[in-house]
Amino acid sequence: MLERFPITQYINEEGELVRQDIKEGLSLDLIKIFYEKMLRARMMDKKCVNLQRQGRIGTYVQYEGQEAAQVGSALAIEEGDWMFPSYRDHAATMTFGHSLRNLLLYWVGRIEGGIPPEGKNIFPPAVPIASQLLHATGAAWAEKKKNTDRVSLVYFGDGATSEGDFHEGLNFASVFKAPVVFFNQNNGYAISVPTEKQMNSKTIAQKGLGYDIPSIRIDGNDILAVFMETQKAVERARSGEGPTLIEAVTWRYGAHTTADDPSKYRDQSESDRRRTTTDPLLRLERYLKQQNSWDEEWLASIEQKITDEINTALAEMDDVPEAEIEQLFNHVFEKPTWTIEQQREHHMSIKRGQV
């Protein structure tokens, strides 16, 4: 299976273009956009980890190391398409247009955090594992029924492929030829469980075989491979050819969440090694250097721009008034039931000390 599903790469770890056929169309501007988007994601992630350590936000789920997989794939869809993230995929959602303010609000436990900007079809992050694959399939199926060329892009981890919902999602998409791209980030671990203990199969891509879904394995730290191959899958979906399964092989540098201690189950020196080898940002830096296009001033200027953007979002987060108690009771139904009305009344009167 490893031979059948080789890992596709466009730019290798040394920053060399290994796919000469794309050289023509490859512009430095595009590479710089990729770099900037990944840097933005990384800086935001680091900020969030720090905020958690300072107690300013709650438990946080980091994605450092997975920027290429998330940013590259998110750039391959367009406005009007659908995105279905899990709890780890905020690099994807922020690239697709989710506001940094709401991203922060999500992690301070605010309902507003899950709300995408007007016009953007981004689902609130799925917390139960693999459940979102079916939603993505359903939404894509709806687009097909409505005769549009809109597609769904759905994110999930390696552990998610063990759940029934993963298999049901693939099967439905295959049966109904739904225009959905199943984007797996194989980061090697589901919390503490390494992929070899999660599954006996050597690849995740091969799981598509059982459903007759075209499946590929790509270097998830190579943003060019991620972008180009996701784009192809998106095009297939748009043109009515049905779903694709993409396994992006990557690595999370840090803990599963800020509440987890990875030293219990893995040697963190592997992360240190990868920061100097497979790192998605470093790879583009190397590429740009080889093209004599690396520019420290440019880097400083985009860093400044991103810092400003993050600081603005932080200020917005701090400015948000406390959550309104009413939020508890609103939006459970379109029209609250009498029980909810009664509970709201009772709760508020006790709070006001009126009884």
Partner 1 sequence: MTTAVQVKKLTMVQAVTDAMRTMLEEDESVLVLGEDVGINGGVFRATDGLIGQFGEDRVIDTPLAESGIVGTSIGLAVNGFRPIVEMQFLGFIYPAFNQLMTHATRMRQRSMGRFTVPMVVRAPYGAGVKAPEIHSDSVEALFTHIPGLKVVVPSNAYDAKGLLIASIEDPDPVLFLEPMRSYRSSRTEVPEEKYSIELGKAAYVKKGHDVTVLTWGAMVSDTVKAVEKYEEKYEATCDVIDLRTLYPLDKDVIAESVRKTGRAVIVHEAPSAGGVNGDVISVINDTAFFYLKAPIQKVTGFDTPVPVYSLEREYLPSSDKIIHAINMTLSY
Contacting residues toward partner 1, per CB under 8 A: 58-59, 87, 108-111, 113, 127-129, 159-160, 162-165, 190-193, 197-199, 259-260, 264-265, 322-323, 325, 327-329, 332, 337, 339-340, 343-344, 347, 350-351, 355
Catalytic option among 265, 266, 331, 347:
265
Tell me how crowded residue 329 is: count the other CB atoms within 10 A of its CB: 16
Q: For ligand TPP, which residue of 152, 187, 206, 278 counts as binding (CB under 6 A)?
A: 187
- Whether 78 and 97 have beta carbons less than 8 Å apart is answered as no
Angle in degrees, 0-180, between the axes of helices 296-319 and 28-53, rounded to the nearest 10: 40
Using alpha carbons only, give the angle 143, 66, 272 rounded to the nearest 5 degrees: 170
β-strand pairing of 193-194 with 189-190:
antiparallel
Look up 155 and say whether it is catalytic. no
**Residue 82 host element (H or E):** strand 82-84
Q: Which of the listed partners (ligand TPP, partner 1, none) does 259 bind, with a CB threshold of 5 to 8 Å by partner kind?
A: partner 1
Catalytic option among 42, 88, 150, 256:
256
Cβ closer to ligand TPP: 31 or 160?
160
Q: Which of the listed partners (partner 1, ligand TPP, none) does 327 bind, with a CB threshold of 5 to 8 Å by partner kind?
A: partner 1
Cα–Cα distance between 104 and 316 in angstroms, integer? Answer: 9
Q: If binding means CB under 6 A, how many residues of this protein chain bind ligand TPP?
A: 13
Single out the residue of 40, 140, 35, 130 nearest to residue 85, CA to CA: 130
The window from 23-31, 157-165, 234-242, 340-348 that contacts ligand TPP (CB under 6 A) reads 157-165
Cβ closer to partner 1: 30 or 193?
193
Q: Which of the listed partners (partner 1, ligand TPP, none) does 347 bind, with a CB threshold of 5 to 8 Å by partner kind?
A: partner 1
Q: For ligand TPP, which residue of 68, 94, 105, 190 counts as binding (CB under 6 A)?
A: 190
Residue 287 beta carbon to partner 1: minimum distance, rounded to whole angstroms: 36
Tokens of 258: 């800020």
Q: In Å, what is the CA distance from 218 to each residue of 7, 183, 195?
A: 5, 11, 16
Cα–Cα distance between 322 and 173 in angstroms, integer? Answer: 42
Look up 252 and say whether it is catalytic. yes
Single-letter code of the amino acid located at 264: K
Cβ closer to ligand TPP: 51 or 190?
190
Cα–Cα distance between 238 and 66 in angstroms, integer? Answer: 26
φ/ψ bin of 103: left (φ > 0), alpha (ψ from -120 to 50), beta (otherwise): alpha
Single out the residue of 78, 3, 64 nearest to residue 279, CA to CA: 64
Q: Which of the listed partners (partner 1, ligand TPP, none) does 88 bind, with a CB threshold of 5 to 8 Å by partner kind?
A: ligand TPP
The CB-nearest residue to ligand TPP is 157
Look up 90 and say whether it is catalytic. no
φ/ψ bin of 130: left (φ > 0), alpha (ψ from -120 to 50), beta (otherwise): left
- Whether 209 and 172 have beta carbons less than 8 Å apart is answered as no
Q: For ligand TPP, which residue of 40, 42, 47, 88 counts as binding (CB under 6 A)?
A: 88
Asked if residue 127 binds ligand TPP (CB under 6 A), the reply is yes
Question: What SS3 class is residue 113?
Answer: helix
- Which residues are within 8 A (CB) of 337 and not within 5 positions of it... i.e. 6 or more apart? none
Cβ closer to ligand TPP: 136 or 190?
190
Query: Using CB under 6 A as the criterion, what x/- string covers residues 232-271 for binding ligand TPP?
Result: ------------------------x---------------
Residue 160 beta carbon to ligand TPP: minimum distance, rounded to whole angstroms: 4
Residue 146 beta carbon to ligand TPP: minimum distance, rounded to whole angstroms: 31
Active site residues: 252, 256, 265
Binding residues for ligand TPP, rule: CB under 6 A, are 88, 127-129, 157-160, 187, 189-191, 256
